[in-house]
Amino acid sequence: MDEKTIPLPRLHVKSTTTFAASENGWDEHLYGRELFEQSGECIFIIGMDLRYIAVNGRALSLLGYEENELIGKPVSDVMSQDQALGQGSVVGNHTNLHERILKRKDGSLLPVEVSTSIVYQDGLTPAYIQSIARDISDRKAADNTLRRHARILSVINDAAAILLRSSDIEVKIPEVLKLLGNAMDVSYCAIFEVNNYADKPLSEPRYVWNKTNTSNVNVFAVVEPHLSEIWNLRNGTEEQPASFSQPTFVSVPIGNNPNSRLSLIFFDDSREILWSPSEFDAAQTAANLIESALQRNRFEETIRLNEARNRIVLDALPDLLIRLDRDGVILDYSAKPDHPLHIHRDVISGRKLSQVWPDEIVAKIIGDENVTFFESAHWLAEFNLPYSNSTYESRLYPIDNDEALIVVRDVTELAVLNEMKSDFINRASHELRTPITTVMLMAELIQEGGTPEELEEYWRTLKSELNRQKILIDRLLIAGRLESGMMNMEAAKIDLIPILEESIRAIKPVATKRGVDLCFANYETSLCVLGEKSGLQQVFINLINNAAKFSPKGSSVNIEVSHTKENVSVEIRDSGVGIPQDAIPYLFEKFYRAKNVTIAEIPGSGIGLYIVKTIVDELGGNINVTSEMNKGTTFTVTLRRVD
């Protein structure tokens, strides 16, 4: 016998009256019965009438049939018939491959990969069809898991877009819960608020979504027995999702308010929720996203209240307030009648400030950086006017690019009004969306397959992007805990030198990779300060890592320790890009990054120095910075010395 190339269309052959092997072309002696039975593949021998005439033991085990039950049975009773034998051809020793569904004896369905070939007798007459099936259920399950995970990540990306672009978070959160509920394949998704004012925690649903066809289950009654566990849900300092059974639901913590905690609840009344670790991670990411959106909502409400308060304060100020546009035209002029520079606003509005005051004074008040647009605040310490005996100071605050407010005061010191950063939404959206997008792409590439080297690169990129997202979330959580007072620094006597040495060792591999040398100039074996180990490690690791990151290849970062009788100072000096002088006052504010760093596309979240400053202040120390553009920056941390 041999095999030739012939087309394999859907075959329609009348069935024979008997199914003996000899009458259907099957000769077990010619084929090799022992080899047939011992093969590791599932082999089916099919007559030209499309009925089974022989099956090996592995195939019978796969389908759950006895041999006498399967012999003579039509192929259509066992295998899906849509092009079951292919619309293709058999070429030499190559066979067609198709994915098909086999129906077991117990009625369960099994996905398989089937190869078929026609065997000829005497090279001319088709004798029988040989079909080899391979179980691909594991591969299909893995494909489904990847698709499900990609869908969940896509939903989180959509949710980020909805929340971070919306001006009405309260309305959009139910829409996000619907997306999450459908993606996680549950019947109920809600945000519960758990309060701990009393001895026993109390709970109420804040936002709720459930499928319209869900049975009327009292989810609150399901959750209530576990309120204490939900309140205490954490592992060390990291918040973790947890699964509860009978009936099953999953609780994911949102934020860490000391008296009121939000939890994202997933519930299904028809089945037990069995999630993979990646699905738990996705649920936690969604909870962190919701917390960011709610925090933004609180920030916006704070801004609105501050604006209302500011209007009242400005109206009550005894000083001169001038609002002007970028052409120097006075839009508003407000001063009390007893103010030495008082002019009625109706008289002066619409005139240029340079028509009222000397040009050189106006130029100093506005500042060189605001000649074209109002871009940054500007302070003029002292100036005098020809017709006034008083000495004034001025502070210019940009309202936007086209307007600014000038406060003219007759005092020398006032606290600078901190402006909240407006780029939080864009920065958080970018930092969250970019890793998710990359992870989705890598998942698709892994699903498509590739060479071992390509798959290794895909997995390396995927892990790197997930780690990048985790670092951002960790820093946001640390900043939130510091801001809320939940991370208390218990200052005590501690040796500073080992902490510095450990911090340098932690950064040394990263610095070496960047080609930067870390030089520790220390002449003390022990130097005790008032501090806390983990907090000081956070401070020095952050500062040394920044210095290495901003330094050019081949340069060095110098760490020097000096002390007086009262204080110990640690100086960290690099030779990097430097910091603009107008950026230094804002350097320790949350989410702030200098423009030259952003333009150079040096990665960072703008949270590290905020954390450093907060910890140093908490320990009763102080931090100073000096910098020169393109020459380097020096940070000096001063702590109280303890003998």
What is the DSSP secondary structure assignment for residue 88, as one 8-state letter?
E
Q: Is residue 175 part of a domain?
A: no
Same domain, 584 and 539: yes
pLDDT tens digit sequence for 266-287: 887 777 777 777 778 888 888 8
pLDDT band at 236 (very low <50, low <70, confident <90, very high): very low
Q: Flag the least confident range among 116-130, 478-492, 587-601.
A: 587-601
Q: Which of 409, 437, 452 lies at the terminal end of a domain, its last residue?
A: 409
Could you tell me if 570 and 641 are in contact, meaning their C-beta atoms sit under 8 angstroms apart? no
Residue written as token pair 């012999």: 71
- Is the predicted pLDDT of residue 79 greater than 60, yes or no? yes
pLDDT tens digit sequence for 117-139: 888 887 788 888 888 988 888 88
| Residue with more model confidence, 613 or 607 | 613
Q: Is residue 265 part of a domain?
A: no
pLDDT tens digit sequence for 146-183: 787 777 778 778 877 777 777 777 778 888 888 888 88
User: Mean pLDDT across the stretch 337-356?
Assistant: 81
Phi/psi region, residue 255 (left: phi>0; alpha: psi -120 to 50; beta: rest), is left
| Residue with more model confidence, 628 or 522 | 628
d(CA 3, CA 123): 7
- Is the predicted pLDDT of residue 232 greater than 60, yes or no? yes
For the chain, give the mean pLDDT: 75
Question: Could you count the other beta carbons within 10 Å of the beta carbon of residue 418?
Answer: 9
**HEC sequence for 230-282:** HHCCCECCECCCEEECCCCEEEEEECCCCCEEEEEEEECCCCCCCCCHHHHHH
Q: Is residue 165 part of a domain?
A: no
Same domain, 325 and 429: no
pLDDT at residue 638, rounded to an integer:
93
pLDDT band at 89 (very low <50, low <70, confident <90, very high): very low
Same domain, 384 and 458: no
Domain count, the chain: 4
Q: Is residue 211 part of a domain?
A: no
Determine the structural domain holding residue 467 and report its residue range: 424-483
pLDDT at residue 217, rounded to an integer:
64
d(CA 629, CA 230): 51
Residue 202: CB partners within 8 Å, gap ≥ 6? 194, 195, 196, 227
Would you state the structure tokens that stand for residue 14, as one six-digit string?
């009348």
d(CA 245, CA 268): 11
pLDDT tens digit sequence for 296-319: 777 888 888 887 776 676 667 777
Q: Cα-flanking dihedrals φ and ψ of residue 338, to 5°?
A: -90, 0
Same domain, 634 and 505: yes
Same domain, 570 and 607: yes
- Is the predicted pLDDT of residue 637 greater than 90, yes or no? yes
pLDDT band at 216 (very low <50, low <70, confident <90, very high): low
Same domain, 32 and 128: yes
Same domain, 461 and 346: no
CA 626 from chain centre, in angstroms, equals 34
Instruction: With H, G, I as helix, E, B as strand and everything else as coil, classify residue 456.
Output: helix
d(CA 128, CA 21): 10
pLDDT at residue 570, rounded to an integer:
92
- Which CATH number characterizes residue 564's domain? 3.30.565.10
- Is the predicted pLDDT of residue 1 greater than 70, yes or no? no
Instruction: With H, G, I as helix, E, B as strand and everything else as coil, classify residue 18.
Output: coil
pLDDT at residue 57, rounded to an integer:
87
Instruction: With H, G, I as helix, E, B as strand and everything else as coil, classify residue 202.
Output: strand
pLDDT band at 263 (very low <50, low <70, confident <90, very high): confident
Same domain, 607 and 626: yes
- Is the predicted pLDDT of residue 587 greater than 70, yes or no? yes
pLDDT band at 365 (very low <50, low <70, confident <90, very high): confident
- Which CATH number characterizes residue 338's domain? 3.30.450.20
Residue written as token pair 């911090």: 503
Could you tell me if 612 and 543 are in contact, meaning their C-beta atoms sit under 8 angstroms apart? yes
User: Mean pLDDT across the stretch 430-435?
Assistant: 61
Q: What is the DSSP string of 507-575?
A: HHHHHHHHT-EEEEE---S--EEEE-HHHHHHHHHHHHHHHHHHSPTT-EEEEEEEE-SSEEEEEEE--
Would you state the structure tokens that stand for residue 497, as one six-digit string?
């030198």
Same domain, 452 and 542: no
Would you state the structure tokens that stand for residue 11, as one six-digit string?
């075959």
Q: Which of 483, 510, 530 lies at the terminal end of a domain, its last residue?
A: 483
Q: Is residue 635 part of a domain?
A: yes
pLDDT at residue 639, rounded to an integer:
93
CA distances from 5 to 91, 93, 117, 125, 195 (A): 5, 9, 9, 13, 75
- Is the predicted pLDDT of residue 7 greater than 60, yes or no? no
- Is the predicted pLDDT of residue 235 greater than 50, yes or no? no
Could you tell me if 631 and 575 are in contact, meaning their C-beta atoms sit under 8 angstroms apart? yes
Q: Is residue 97 part of a domain?
A: yes
pLDDT at residue 640, rounded to an integer:
92
Same domain, 363 and 469: no
d(CA 25, CA 27): 6
Same domain, 519 and 438: no
| Residue with more model confidence, 247 or 478 | 478
**Half-sphere exposure (Cβ direction) of 159: Cα atoms closer than 13 Å:** 30
**Segment of 87-91, 504-508, 545-549, 555-559 carrying the highest mean pLDDT:** 555-559
Q: Which of 85, 108, 135 lies at the terminal end of a domain, its last residue?
A: 135
d(CA 370, CA 404): 10
- Which CATH number characterizes residue 444's domain? 1.10.287
pLDDT at residue 635, rounded to an integer:
92
CA distances from 238 to 235, 256, 478, 552 (A): 5, 10, 10, 35
Q: What is the pTM of this model?
A: 0.35
- Is the predicted pLDDT of residue 601 greater than 50, yes or no? no
Same domain, 624 and 545: yes
Q: Is residue 312 part of a domain?
A: no
pLDDT tens digit sequence for 16-74: 333 334 444 455 544 556 667 777 788 899 898 899 999 998 889 888 999 888 999 99
pLDDT at residue 364, rounded to an integer:
85
Would you state the structure tokens that stand for residue 547, as one six-digit string?
């210095």
Q: Is residue 12 part of a domain?
A: yes
- Is the predicted pLDDT of residue 94 greater than 50, yes or no? no
